[in-house]
Structure 1
């Protein structure tokens, strides 16, 4: 049975530690990670700092390379990059054992990461690798999906589930809406951009899991 873990890591144990140290106000949220030929390519949003400041700091950061700006909005900028191979990092551990990164949010003092492990053996392998390579982390929560009636069944992470339910309970989907995104974001203590991204990714997961049988790119 799959295991889901919520971890807290110091920046130096994950990625972009130098960047986050140079830009303490920055907030980084990984949207997805693509793996091809042993290269991990994260797509991530950067908020609370200018694109120019982030790019200058990231250019000197040894944990990441080939940073490319994809889209710029008022509240955040979307990037694509490559994680470098650093054995003393949790990214290397995730790659080695095959764990799936579901969500990752970085601030100047920590990363909060949600993972899915195929089974307990994979989790033990991850813990062993981290211990052998002095990778620091703390497990905040570890759980299995014991019921089919959960957000996980429909392609949702816990944060996406929380965002969609909060919006529904606040009356955001009523016509006219009874609450704004900014009000809901304030209740959840996150930025409006973060809420918007979680809801958008949640919609994508729900549609993929319930309304279609093939991805548009499938033959």
Structure 2
């Protein structure tokens, strides 16, 4: 049975540490990762800093290469890149134990990760790898679908559940709407883009874990 874990890891234990340290106001949200052999191609959004400033910092970051901007909006931008061998922990998660990182948000202090493991053995392998390689991690929540906890039985993260509840209480889902996406985002102190993605992921998780029992993923999406 699948096991879901929510972890905090220090920024230096994951990707883009030097970039996040250099441009400290930047927030990175990984949308999805395409894994091909030993090459991992992340698609991610940045906010909190100007794209040109972010790109300048990335140029000196050994954990990433071949950065390409795909879209830019008023307060955020979407990029594609490649992770390098300098981030063995990420390569291990994807290519060795085949776990799926469902959500990843990084700041200059830490990365917040939500990972789905196929079973407890896969989770044990991940924890053992972290201990052997001195990768500090802080487990926040651990559950499977038979052990509900604050929305966990539906595959929701605490942030997704908070966003859904806040939007519902504000009247975002009413017809006609009593609150806009901007109103709800302001209450949560996040960007509209971040809220939109968070609600989309929450809806996807609810469908997968209520209306649809299982699904296959060839290219894991975060």
Q: Classify the secondary structure of the residue corresponding to 1:68.
A: strand
CA distance in 2, matches of 1:116, 1:165: 23
Aligned to 1:196: 196
Q: Return 185-194 or 156-165, whichever deviates more.
A: 156-165
Cα displacement (A) at 1:153: 7.2
Cα displacement (A) at 1:192: 2.5
Q: Classify the secondary structure of the residue corresponding to 1:56.
A: helix
CA distance in 2, matches of 1:143, 1:204: 18
Q: Following superposition of structure 1 onto structure 2, how do residues 60-209 of structure 1 map, counting pairs within 5 Å?
A: 60-86=60-86, 89-95=88-94, 96-146=96-146, 157-203=157-203
CA distance in 2, matches of 1:152, 1:41: 28
Instruction: Identify unmatched segments of 5+ residues in structure 2.
Output: 217-222
CA distance in 2, matches of 1:45, 1:202: 18
What is the TM-score of this pair, normalised by structure 2?
Answer: 0.84
How many residues align structurally?
A: 213
Aligned to 1:54: 54
Aligned to 1:35: 35
Instruction: Identify unmatched segments of 5+ residues in structure 1.
Output: none
Q: CA RMSD in A?
A: 2.7
Q: Classify the secondary structure of the residue corresponding to 2:86.
A: coil
